Structure 1
């Protein structure tokens, strides 16, 4: 399993938001943070605190990305033309594990990482087991034939919990998804408000 799985809802509670929009999130019952001091009144966050929180929320949404991985993606977004925040979202959403999650092949981003790792996914007909693999526009991501009857896949496909975004052309019968285009922030179906502009400010100062 991924290293975050056992504590993934702790992140929800620390942020006070249901980051993945999951019905089981403890934030749905209580919004204060974890631990014995979780109910203490929160002080006003500094600019640094607000920026750090935005970064933790965005990074946390994509599973167990390390700070090194996330910073590398940010550095690439900064080198590209256009708005760095929008570029960052586009790069994060073009990761193979993110596409497997958005296409509803599995129920969570954590499951998506493991699913790819275990070799259940092909890109343009070739098996790829690297979650961070960069999917290009026009690439077809598909669940392998022998993996389609897995309980985790059948549960995710049948779930009405999430909708597939418009930048993926999904075929449920074939369990395939074509990456039509890199999305902008407004295209991504985040369950909470993400603020990549604050992430840009955080890295610009630190």
Structure 2
């Protein structure tokens, strides 16, 4: 188990929100943060604090990406024409691990990273084991034949708390999905409010 996987509940509690919408999240039971100072009253956050929190929440949601990885994706979003915040969401959703998670092939985004790493996924019929691989519109992502009966896969497809978004066409009988189009912020089924505009403000100033 990776360090990040072990820390996923800590991320929820640090943010004070159930960012993946999981029924087992500790935030459902106690809303204060982790550690001995977690129950202290929180002061009003400054603009910087709000921007930092928005960045940490978005970064955490996609498997607690490293700052270097996240900054690189942001820099790319900034270079592309259009709204930087929307571009950022589109690039994050095109990560292979995010697509595998959205398609409900695995139960968590952390499991998706490991699933891809271990060679269980194909893109257009070819094995791809890089979680950050950028999926293109029209690509077909599928679980490899020998991996379709893994308990993890069978359980994930039945999870009631998540729906597959409409920018993906998923066939769970074949364990494959087509990435139909790149989504904008309004298309992505985040369980909590994400604020990419604040992330843009954070990087603009820092």
Normalising by structure 1, what TM-score? 0.99
Corresponding residue for residue 141 of structure 2: 141
Distance of 1:73 and 1:188 partners within structure 2: 18
SS at match of 2:157: helix
**Where do 1:48-197 residues align within 5 Å?**
48-197=48-197
Tell me what 2:29 maps to: 29
Residue 53 of structure 2 is aligned to residue 20 of structure 1 = no
Q: SS of the counterpart of 1:158?
A: coil
**Structure 1 position 158, deviation (Å):** 1.6
SS in 1 for 2:169: strand
Could you say what secondary structure the match of 2:86 adopts?
Answer: helix
Counterparts of 1:154 and 1:4, CA distance in 2: 24
Q: Contact 1:2 / 1:64 at 8 angstroms: preserved in 2?
A: no
Deviations 1:10-43 (A, max 9, x none): 1111110000000000000010001111111101
State the SS of the aligned residue for 2:204.
helix
Residue 42 of structure 2 corresponds to which residue in structure 1?
Answer: 42
Partner-residue secondary structure (3-state), 2:3:
coil
Partners of 2:5 and 2:152 lie apart in 1 by: 15
Contact 1:103 1:168 in 2 (8 A): yes
For residues 193 and 160 of structure 1, what CA distance do their matches in structure 2 show? 20
Structure 1 runs not aligned, ≥5 long? none
Contact 1:3–1:64, Cα closer than 8 Å, also in 2: no
Structure-2-length-normalised TM-score = 0.99
Report deviation, 1:195.
0.1
Aligned to 2:11: 11
Q: Which runs of 5+ in 2 are unaligned?
A: none
The residue aligned with 1:198 is 198
Q: Distance in 1 between matches of 2:196 and 2:2?
A: 25
Runs of 4+ in 1 over 4 A off after TM superposition: none
Shift of 1:160: 1.3
Q: Distance in 1 between matches of 2:56 and 2:106?
A: 23
Distance 1:78 1:58 in 2: 16
Query: For 1:170, what is the secondary structure of its paired residue?
Result: strand
Q: CA deviation at 1:2?
A: 3.0
Aligned residues: 206
Q: Secondary structure at the match of 1:82?
A: coil
User: 1:3 Cα shift?
Assistant: 2.6
